[in-house]
A and B are shown apart, each in its own frame.
With several copies, the nearest count.
Chain A
């Protein structure tokens, strides 16, 4: 089946992103297709490359990045939610006159339409939040 994922909370504070990650891994192992993982609300905070978690803890961002590389996942950060919370790619930083960006490899910033598209194109949409 084609499965879409919505992650509504940031890394570490709520288990949502961890649960979504474990779910996606299990779905891929069972041969399902992950149409897209869409990060909304505080979920956009999963997509910053500036995190430095303690060495004995999981690195949620790099877990997602590596899974995306391995399985060619589409990780999309909502642009409107990202602007509120300070997640930018190079283009957005330029456009907004900011002197730095922080998007992590494997993530891309796009519009909310990508979430609706995920709902339309996927056989199932699974929501992980607080």
Chain B
């Protein structure tokens, strides 16, 4: 990995990557393996956003406790995304509402803004369904899981 990182850190190609998450955690592995791509991808100095819509919003729910199903609880990793300079997490408002959820049901995910004296800011941005088409159209690469 470090070789690749070096190879690209000097490159002036910077693309807009969107990771689009539409599936719940644990029932399938897609949420976890998507997150693993995001963490590796963070080494490549690209412009990264994550989107959570449909059942993808369930990935961010507070209070996940996987002990009794014998699987690893990977939800704390989302809160570490700020350390990887992944700071744009778009969550669809309508997807939350259909599921009886509000932003208060989601984990608090923040980052320190280096352009603003390292002030702590929320990473999650609520986005209306109608705005998502524009977000997608602004990307160079969409990885959907």
Contacts and interface: CB of A to CB of B under 8 A. Distances in A.
Q: What class of interface size applies to chain A in its complex with B? A: 20 to 34
Given A117-B4, A117-B8, A127 B144 contact: yes
Nearest to B27: A15
Contacts of A22: 69-70
Nearest to A25: B70
B92 to A, nearest CB: 20
B4 A114 contact: yes
B123 interface: no
A112 B143 contact: no
Contacts of B29: 12-14, 41
B13 interface: yes
Interface in A111-127: 111-117, 119-121, 125, 127
A93 interface: no
Nearest to A19: B69
Contacts of A58: 70-72
Contacts of B46: 116, 119-120
A100 B40 CA distance: 28
Interface stretch (B30-38, B49-57, B81-89, B111-119): B30-38
Interface of A: 6, 8, 12-15, 18-19, 21-22, 40-41, 56-58, 63, 80-81, 111-117, 119-121, 125, 127, 129-130
Given A8-B145, A14-B27, A14-B28, 19 more contacts: A14-B29, A15-B71, A19-B69, A21-B70, A41-B29, A58-B72, A80-B36, A111-B4, A112-B1, A112-B40, A112-B41, A113-B40, A115-B143, A116-B17, A116-B37, A116-B44, A119-B46, A127-B142, A130-B28
